[in-house]
Structure 1
């Protein structure tokens, strides 16, 4: 009996210490349900809008910038655990403009410092008596045409850690102040009015890495928007532009990635070792790639790639696959420079097996 007491005491102590940990003080967690980072691009319903790149005119884009209901407290212990619930009354809260930093709106204190931490340094812990929290709430509606699409919630930048809820349901968590955070929120939405709630912590374990010579400010400091995207879509891509040895002609190389977020997408449900990957019902859908100059002219002949080429790509046991899944030769392109920052537009179109634009 005497030998068992220390073991029991150690177990209980260990359990208590674990239960006191916060995600925003855990270096092993810097996101929950955040989508993988990707290139910056937007989905449009027609070619004219895509070429013009006017996202605000697309019916599949909705900005959440503007006034949000806001409540600021000085410590995490004073923060609310229920403000995200649908029946929580925020009518008496003040408003704050998004994007902005709450220090510039009269909440807390702006701090300028170089390499000295602006908080008590005890990595990865944060002083709970000096970690203000901001509560944000906003209502919004979505278009009926979004019903059969995925809806992506985009935060351009939040300092320094935040939780997000839709209609009272927990969506996710993210750190990384200067990077976008995106979440797929379609399953949390409802017809009519929806509620988004965001809880922002000024400091987190990630703040130890964000030790730059700059002003230390807090809040939702970059844009917030929603975008409805197809269930089958180009989800990311990487581009290389390789010039020849004379710096005259170039090869445009593109490696696309696709999302196929539909049920029963596989034709067969059983895979086979050392053979072609499982085929999908969208393998014969296509990605058309066009390169357009600043005058809106198509520079070279379009490239057409079947989605199955990417979805069914085999990776060798040794070595690596060829990067350029799409390759297009461009004769004597305009070369970008600081004096002449000439940019081309890459236009991607996903079409089904009947040629319909998705």
Structure 2
């Protein structure tokens, strides 16, 4: 598949854009384990227009990121156009428009998946952004607003007409948030619609190589996007690639292996951040996911989530290693919530 001048071979694996998750250190870990395409955390168009430094920091890109997209969201067309122009100054390989975020703080302002309620405006916004920048533009969205409102087929055609060069589809409605199972049926229908010529990227509930292969076979999408399944499990990309190539599942990592991976991610995060405490706090969402299914782990998990210094974290990790060592983790039953 191609996005602009970028040619991606085979079935490329995309790391989904996630707020407070897909910052530098996590992107580096996912890239190390085989992710092909990176996204920044999504950024607010209004904050970019106001030149908010914290928001602009999210758009800093690094050599390892390539190819990489900056994702923007908003409800005001003029602000979104200006935001795309600001994003372009950071030289991403493409700019992605967020038409899928279901969170109340985004939707209540008419952004994210709220745009699914106004398809003409979505199309107009997209077309104006495409005209305003030279960088390729893509979009990410959902099936629709609710089970009774599923316009994804029309959305795909409208956005293609507006000039986007690829579309990622999450197999849930806004109403579902992240509950229930992702429905890939409509994703497959969009992909196999002869009117839709742009690449289609499937997203939702990809948590193993076997599941990835099943969804790929059922829909024939051009690429797969992994989001929550990779939190605390960045090697999921390696597992998926191995399964797609061989039909075999890699053994799950031991606690010792997971601890070493977590230490590496933590080191990268602290190296990047200029404040130790904030660097630790940013990692808590990842800490919570790294050790699924360990027996009698509750107390150590609480300690890990309360730690505020690098030294504290390492002391707790040593306890985990000492107690569980070669215990083999089972991520197949890990929650995506």
Same fold (TM > 0.5): no
TM range (shorter): under 0.3
Q: Structure 1 length normalisation: TM-score?
A: 0.26
Name the structure where helix makes up a greater proportion of residues.
Answer: 2
Counting strand residues as a fraction of each chain, which structure ranks higher?
1
- Higher relative contact order by CA 8 Å / sep ≥ 6: 1 or 2? 1
